A and B are shown apart, each in its own frame.
Chain A
């Protein structure tokens, strides 16, 4: 069965493709072939089968299947007309696919295409509407006529539009649009004959014509604008003659014109009244122009009767009117400086250059005339000035100043300014300002008298520049005006209004104003003037005018502690000082200050300060009573001591037996009553010793001391610990001469032993407290033994310098020559001191330890030689100290431990 079906399929194909006369012959066909269908219409197609195919394959019309773009048409739309013809009916819509095929179902199973057609769907053209035409004149002096119309809805088909036109007696070839369907241009329209114009639209579905338009093309002309414009100055400075050439002959069309003009730089045009140019012409004189002003002209034209279209505006042409006399005199004002001399003024006359519409030409010069208005007639002074100011020195008085501007055409009317001796007339009142529309308006209340005019003077107030005065005149009947100048925002202006009278001038009334305010550019820098316990006085400087940017309405002081809330205080803007009160003592505060204008404020830098711990007078209140109390106590003490002086004296200053009254004193005729260096020197003049021998005496029996001698010793022993120099042993107790007492005094057992073992005597050496120079030296002995030697030796201890000197003299006397030479080299280092005038030898440097003052009170003139020797001896003594220790160690211990530089009268400090 399959093979049979396949064979039938091949048969149909063969039948369909059967070649007849070289062409493929189908088994059927569809009519109509390639139909063009109107949307919304019904369409019926027929598929007709060939008889040959019927015989060949048993194919009949009832087997036909219609398809639209491979989609089967419902059977309801089919109709079998006979056994070879089948029809199908559609309602034509825009969705109708372009392909319709007739197919056959062979043996009910195999579908075979018999034929197919292409369907085109569209609309017939609508009647063109709104036909209109215009004739453009073109530079070739032909007159193409362009007609436009509304073609109506789209037809979806190829539609031909034709512009048809004809004369009554003659037809013309159609105008066929190119690439458009709504306009066409006839190359050269002919005038003065009515032309009938209409549009015909046609496509496969129909044809439509517009309503005819009958017109004479001359009535729809848009001519070319006139050309070759030229402007000539007329005789009058207010007239310019404009000439042009028309590009359409008057024989063809008479024209009327529009002329417009404007001043160069302006944007708005003025127009010559149309009725003045409603007739054919090639020139026109424009009047009422400003002298010496450059104008731009342009012109257009159209048919004289107004039928048709205006041409475009012509190219622009400029022309300048000739000069005329200045129409008014310049505005004049003055600045008077009376500071130079009390008897004369420096008058700076200023006038404003005339505006171009006032100058009417180029101002060549200004003629200034000054007349003194005095009882004695004086000839006027005349000046010719090229600038707009003139500075004169005039005696005090009343003057009339006249300024006349000159140009090539003539002179202006004079401008007169009266400069009175004093501004004694009534001033204006209530000068006020108001920013408005980006300009600064100044208003005032007029005085009661008739004012000729007002002068408004203003200048920018700045720290960085001088006040450069600008000014303007206003008529006497106004009470307010805008400042005519470059008024900048955030700048302070000082504005002054002067009323000028016919016979004088009123004093100026000033006001400061800002066009626009802003916050200050910085805040005030605050600092403290005085800080107390609970208050602080703050000071600041006013902001400069340049920093203010507006009127300072208030200051605000903001202060706070480190961890506290900020407190604000508002201060009047006129103040520069403020006292903060109720502050916490001994607290760090941070303070800053803000300056406010109407637009806001700005803060200055922070400043910190600390309040004081005590208030004013608190310290005094504490210290003064304490001091008074102390003084009172001291006074009471002194009084007490005074009253009890005998008792006190007894306790602290016991009665010491006078050695001079001792038996030995009576025995020794040469005992000095008082130790004195000079006396000692006299006693032991230098070089009086030839040799010194030490007598050693063994104290073998302590019991030789009496009990009475020991008592005072016990008492004084207690005081030993406080001061070595205050030895109470001086008191003459016999125990003072004991070897033990010597140990206690010197803390040098060995030395004490040497001394005590030598002789029974007491040596009291006052070294002074803590290396201080001893005030007084006592040497006393209560011994009943002869003390010639010991007395001498005690003299060695009374003055340390002397004793040292004595001792060194002793060593010098015993020393070899070599040591002396060695000392000389050492001594040479002290030569500067030696060369100078020394009051006395001051000190010696002991290697390895501190030196101490050695010499005191040597007379310059008498001791100079001795000084040299002493110095040398001292130096020598230090260098041979180890040798001395064995012989006289006490002298070493008596050397002060501090180094005290000494005053040198001349030669300065002596290096050691």
Chain B
């Protein structure tokens, strides 16, 4: 890997992995907290099924342990770019729906959106260290149009948050795998709550 080419690159890779893992952990924590707030504020049932909602990246994958590091980074990058668009859309809808009244939910959504953006940056930087460079967003699949129905919007938002929590967990594992593969992987932090 290109990450092992120079000590500084290795250090950079290790640092990105380490902080990425922590960021993913915090993101998961915040998303879980946000889910509670979202369900409450949107008047949804926490056990409501959102399987029918489409257009949200799914974290589940087969043969996860057989993936390469680059493949993991790319899948993560695609997913988080999608989440960034979805969350931005949710934030806009939330503002349209509730205005500035519910600042708590809006702030939480904005915070998660920022973290998704930050994690996206981490992934892009790691891909750069892989000498690949991040793929352009031009070729990415555009997010599906938002549902017309308000209820469907709420369900989609719930699905987005749930899948994001799952992705945060998967990303933590992916980055730990990535860190293990790097030469200076000895000090990569282990998450407190390993999935």
In the complex, A192 Cα to B114 Cα: how many Å?
Answer: 11
In the complex, A69 Cα to B114 Cα: how many Å?
Answer: 57
The residue in chain A whose Cβ has the minimal distance to the Cβ of B110 is: A188
> Contacts A190-B114, A192-B22, A193-B23 given: A252-B29 contact, CB under 8 Å?
yes
Q: Is the CB of B20 within 8 A of A251?
A: no
Q: Is the CB of A191 within 8 A of B23?
A: yes
Taking the closest CB of chain A, its distance from the CB of B81, in whole angstroms, is: 12
Assess whether B118 is interfacial by the CB under 8 Å rule: yes
Q: Which of A170-218 contact B (CB under 8 A)?
A: 170, 187-188, 190-193, 216, 218
Contacts of A167 in B (CB 8 A): 117-118, 121
Q: Is the CB of B121 within 8 A of A251?
A: no
Contact of A251 among B22, B111, B117 (CB under 8 A): B22
Q: Which of B157-195 contact A (CB under 8 A)?
A: 191-193
Assess whether A249 is interfacial by the CB under 8 Å rule: yes
In the complex, A142 Cα to B118 Cα: how many Å?
Answer: 17
Q: Is the CB of B28 within 8 A of A251?
A: yes
Contact of B19 among A168, A187, A192, A251 (CB under 8 A): A192
Contacts of B115 in A (CB 8 A): 190
Assess whether A250 is interfacial by the CB under 8 Å rule: yes
Q: Is the CB of B22 within 8 A of A169?
A: no
> Contacts A167-B117, A251-B25 given: A192-B191 contact, CB under 8 Å?
no
Contacts of A188 in B (CB 8 A): 107, 110-111, 114
Taking the closest CB of chain B, its distance from the CB of A313, in whole angstroms, is: 25
Q: Is the CB of B192 within 8 A of A250?
A: yes
Assess whether B13 is interfacial by the CB under 8 Å rule: no
Which residue, of A142, A168, A251, A252, has the highest number of chain B Cβ atoms within 10 A? A251
Q: Is the CB of A170 within 8 A of B121?
A: yes
Contacts of A252 in B (CB 8 A): 22, 25-26, 29
The residue in chain B whose Cβ has the minimal distance to the Cβ of A252 is: B26
> Contacts A169-B124, A188-B107, A216-B19 given: A251-B192 contact, CB under 8 Å?
yes
In the complex, A569 Cα to B170 Cα: how many Å?
Answer: 109
Assess whether B122 is interfacial by the CB under 8 Å rule: yes
Q: Is the CB of B25 within 8 A of A193?
A: no
Q: Which of B109-134 contact A (CB under 8 A)?
A: 110-111, 114-115, 117-118, 120-122, 124
The residue in chain B whose Cβ has the minimal distance to the Cβ of A193 is: B118
Contacts of A142 in B (CB 8 A): 107, 111
Contacts of B114 in A (CB 8 A): 188, 190
Taking the closest CB of chain A, its distance from the CB of B181, in whole angstroms, is: 21
Q: Is the CB of A190 within 8 A of B22?
A: no
Q: Is the CB of A193 within 8 A of B121?
A: yes
Q: Is the CB of B118 within 8 A of A192?
A: yes
The residue in chain A whose Cβ has the minimal distance to the Cβ of B113 is: A190
In the complex, A142 Cα to B124 Cα: how many Å?
Answer: 27
Contacts of B117 in A (CB 8 A): 167, 169-170
The residue in chain B whose Cβ has the minimal distance to the Cβ of A170 is: B117
> Contacts A190-B118, A191-B22 given: A251-B107 contact, CB under 8 Å?
no
In the complex, A193 Cα to B26 Cα: how many Å?
Answer: 12
Instruction: Give 1 or 0 for each of A241-258: 1 = CB within 8 Å of chain B CB.
Output: 000000001111000000
In the complex, A170 Cα to B23 Cα: how many Å?
Answer: 17
Taking the closest CB of chain A, its distance from the CB of B22, in whole angstroms, is: 5
Instruction: Give 1 or 0 for each of A109-131: 1 = CB within 8 Å of chain B CB.
Output: 00000000000000000000000
Q: Is the CB of A249 within 8 A of B118?
A: no
> Contacts A190-B114, A190-B115, A192-B20 given: A168-B121 contact, CB under 8 Å?
yes
Q: Is the CB of B26 within 8 A of A249?
A: yes
- B interface, by DSSP: helix, strand, loop or mixed? helix
Taking the closest CB of chain A, its distance from the CB of B140, in whole angstroms, is: 16
Contacts of A193 in B (CB 8 A): 19, 23, 118, 121-122
Contacts of A251 in B (CB 8 A): 22, 25-26, 28-29, 191-193
Contacts of B110 in A (CB 8 A): 188
In the complex, A154 Cα to B15 Cα: how many Å?
Answer: 42
Which residue, of A167, A191, A193, A249, has the highest number of chain B Cβ atoms within 10 A? A193
Q: Is the CB of B26 within 8 A of A191?
A: yes
Q: Is the CB of B26 within 8 A of A192?
A: yes
Contacts of A190 in B (CB 8 A): 111, 114-115, 118
In the complex, A191 Cα to B110 Cα: how many Å?
Answer: 14
Taking the closest CB of chain B, its distance from the CB of A185, in whole angstroms, is: 14
The residue in chain A whose Cβ has the minimal distance to the Cβ of B21 is: A192
In the complex, A730 Cα to B118 Cα: how many Å?
Answer: 175
In the complex, A250 Cα to B189 Cα: how many Å?
Answer: 11
In the complex, A240 Cα to B193 Cα: how many Å?
Answer: 29
> Contacts A191-B23, A192-B19, A193-B23 given: A249-B121 contact, CB under 8 Å?
no
The residue in chain B whose Cβ has the minimal distance to the Cβ of A216 is: B19
Taking the closest CB of chain B, its distance from the CB of A307, in whole angstroms, is: 13
The residue in chain B whose Cβ has the minimal distance to the Cβ of A141 is: B33
The residue in chain A whose Cβ has the minimal distance to the Cβ of B120 is: A169
Q: Which of A16-60 contact B (CB under 8 A)?
A: none
Contacts of B122 in A (CB 8 A): 192-193
Taking the closest CB of chain B, its distance from the CB of A220, in whole angstroms, is: 15
In the complex, A167 Cα to B114 Cα: how many Å?
Answer: 10
Contacts of B124 in A (CB 8 A): 169
Taking the closest CB of chain A, its distance from the CB of B112, in whole angstroms, is: 10
In the complex, A142 Cα to B107 Cα: how many Å?
Answer: 10
Contacts of B111 in A (CB 8 A): 142, 188, 190
In the complex, A218 Cα to B189 Cα: how many Å?
Answer: 15
Contacts of B25 in A (CB 8 A): 249, 251-252
Taking the closest CB of chain B, its distance from the CB of A264, in whole angstroms, is: 36
The residue in chain A whose Cβ has the minimal distance to the Cβ of B134 is: A169
Instruction: Give 1 or 0 for each of B12-55: 1 = CB within 8 Å of chain A CB.
Output: 00000001101101101100000000000000000000000000
Contacts of A168 in B (CB 8 A): 121
Taking the closest CB of chain B, its distance from the CB of A298, in whole angstroms, is: 25
The residue in chain A whose Cβ has the minimal distance to the Cβ of B118 is: A193
Taking the closest CB of chain B, its distance from the CB of A867, in whole angstroms, is: 146
Contacts of A191 in B (CB 8 A): 22-23, 26
In the complex, A168 Cα to B125 Cα: how many Å?
Answer: 10
In the complex, A192 Cα to B20 Cα: how many Å?
Answer: 7
Taking the closest CB of chain A, its distance from the CB of B31, in whole angstroms, is: 12
In the complex, A169 Cα to B120 Cα: how many Å?
Answer: 10
The residue in chain B whose Cβ has the minimal distance to the Cβ of A251 is: B25
Which residue, of A188, A192, A250, A252, has the highest number of chain B Cβ atoms within 10 A? A192
The residue in chain A whose Cβ has the minimal distance to the Cβ of B112 is: A190
Contacts of B19 in A (CB 8 A): 192-193, 216
The residue in chain B whose Cβ has the minimal distance to the Cβ of A249 is: B29
Taking the closest CB of chain A, its distance from the CB of B122, in whole angstroms, is: 7
Q: Which of A242-298 contact B (CB under 8 A)?
A: 249-252
In the complex, A142 Cα to B111 Cα: how many Å?
Answer: 9
In the complex, A251 Cα to B25 Cα: how many Å?
Answer: 5
The residue in chain B whose Cβ has the minimal distance to the Cβ of A143 is: B111
Taking the closest CB of chain A, its distance from the CB of B64, in whole angstroms, is: 21
Contacts of A249 in B (CB 8 A): 25-26, 29, 192
In the complex, A190 Cα to B115 Cα: how many Å?
Answer: 7
In the complex, A603 Cα to B28 Cα: how many Å?
Answer: 93
Q: Is the CB of A169 within 8 A of B28?
A: no
In the complex, A192 Cα to B168 Cα: how many Å?
Answer: 14
Taking the closest CB of chain A, its distance from the CB of B131, in whole angstroms, is: 19
Instruction: Give 1 or 0 for each of A747-775: 1 = CB within 8 Å of chain B CB.
Output: 00000000000000000000000000000
Taking the closest CB of chain B, its distance from the CB of A488, in whole angstroms, is: 65
The residue in chain A whose Cβ has the minimal distance to the Cβ of B33 is: A141
Contacts of A170 in B (CB 8 A): 117, 121
Q: Which of A135-188 contact B (CB under 8 A)?
A: 142, 167-170, 187-188
Interchain Cβ contacts under 8 Å between A and B, 8 examples: A167-B118, A169-B124, A188-B111, A216-B19, A249-B192, A251-B25, A251-B193, A252-B26
A residues near B, CB below 8 A? 142, 167-170, 187-188, 190-193, 216, 218, 249-252
Known interface pairs A193-B122, A252-B22; 16 further A-B residue pairs with C-beta atoms within 8 A, sorted by A's residue number: A167-B121, A169-B120, A169-B121, A170-B121, A188-B114, A190-B114, A190-B115, A191-B23, A192-B19, A192-B118, A192-B122, A193-B23, A193-B118, A249-B26, A251-B191, A252-B26
B residues near A, CB below 8 A? 19-20, 22-23, 25-26, 28-29, 107, 110-111, 114-115, 117-118, 120-122, 124, 191-193
